[in-house]
Amino acid sequence: MSIEQWNTTITPTWCPGCGNHSLWNELKRALDELKIPAHKILIVYGIGCSGNMYNFVKTYGWHSLHGRAVPTAVGAKLANKDLTVIVVGGDGDGLGEGMGHFIHALRGNANITYLLHNNKIYGLTTGQSSPTSEKGFISRSTPAGQIEIPVKPLKLALAAGGGFVARGYAGKPNDLKELIKKGIQHRGFSFIDILQPCVTFNKVNTYEFYNSRVYDLAANGYEPTDYNQAMLKADEWGDKIPLGLFYHDSREPYEDDLPQEQGQAIVARPVVKRNLTKLVKEFM
């Protein structure tokens, strides 16, 4: 296949220069290189500019409710464990409305890949402060500056038990593609926080901002096996911003401990007809 074959007939509507274009391309390239058939992939999308990707990738897709992409994906994976299940969503959707789901999916080690399009702003609703906006950030919802400190997605993921915790950047497409491939191949919850400049509404966290700060962990001899070291690196944000795989372990995924997940995928089993009349009567 080629990456064009993952396109639909709809042309992306994102602003010219938006980081979402890079994420879209690298996700398609990763799927292409992994040679996973399109009918074996489900991508669940959150609400936001990133969620518009629902229209632009030719796999199974589900455009979920705001903040509910992760639990929808977890349910789909449990119903059909033969699917490769990916979540695409933004920082507002995932760490605002969906924060609780994110933490519990990490604790359970649900066997899905989560691509967090982190532009540090609500873009689709035209520029409000999000959970990852920096303290002091001026936006339409915070004209006097953001009061709260930002959520640090990688520290949160590590604290909640994440076994594949990584950061990519839309401005480093090849590295991003490789991270996405590794995330999909990981058994368990793989979380990739992706720095995705919103060129229209976030005039602070721009390509220039990131280009002068990002560096690659692996190229600096970092090994993603030490939890405490990963926590320290996840806290690093300022003149230097690390990219790559922060932490990796092989804790068994959620489905391995569920008796009903053993054997055939649930959707592949024969339907057993049961008379539910007695059960229904109990609730009447």
The residue from 23, 27, 44, 49 that contacts ligand SF4 (CB under 6 A) is 49
Neighbours of 178 (CB within 10 A): 18
Of residues 258-277, those binding ligand SF4 (CB under 6 A): none
**Which CB sits closer to ligand SF4, 84 or 202?**
202
Candidate residues 3, 15, 99, 204; the one interacting with ligand SF4 per rule CB under 6 A: 15
Crossing angle for the helix pair 99-108 and 69-79, to the nearest 10 degrees: 30
Does the footprint of ligand SF4 cover residue 45 (CB under 6 A)? no
Q: 83 vs 192, which CB is nearer to ligand SF4?
A: 192
Amino acid identity, position 158: L
CA angle 160, 249, 213 (to 5 degrees): 75
In the complex, minimum distance from the CB of residue 121 to ligand SF4, in angstroms, rounded to a whole number = 7
The dihedral built from the CA positions of residue 74, 27, 156 and 199, taken in this order, carries a sign that is: negative
Which stretches does DSSP call E strand in 129-271?
Answer: 164-169, 190-195, 214-216, 241-248
At residue 235, what is the residue type? D
- Out of 164, 189, 201, 254, the only residue in the binding site for ligand SF4 (CB under 6 A) is 201
Considering the complex, state which of residue 24 and residue 222 has its C-beta at the smaller distance from ligand SF4: 24
Residue 96 sits in the site that holds ligand SF4 (CB under 6 A):
no
Q: How far apart are CA 57 and CA 150, in angstroms?
A: 31
Task: Tell me the number of residues near ligand SF4 by CB under 6 A.
Answer: 12
Q: Are 183 and 192 in contact (CB under 8 A)?
A: yes
Whether 34 contacts 128, CB under 8 Å: no
* Contact call for residue 54 and ligand SF4 (CB under 6 A): no
- Nearest CB to ligand SF4, comparing residues 20 and 59: 20
Contact footprint for ligand SF4 (CB under 6 A) = 14-15, 18, 20, 49, 119, 123-124, 198-201
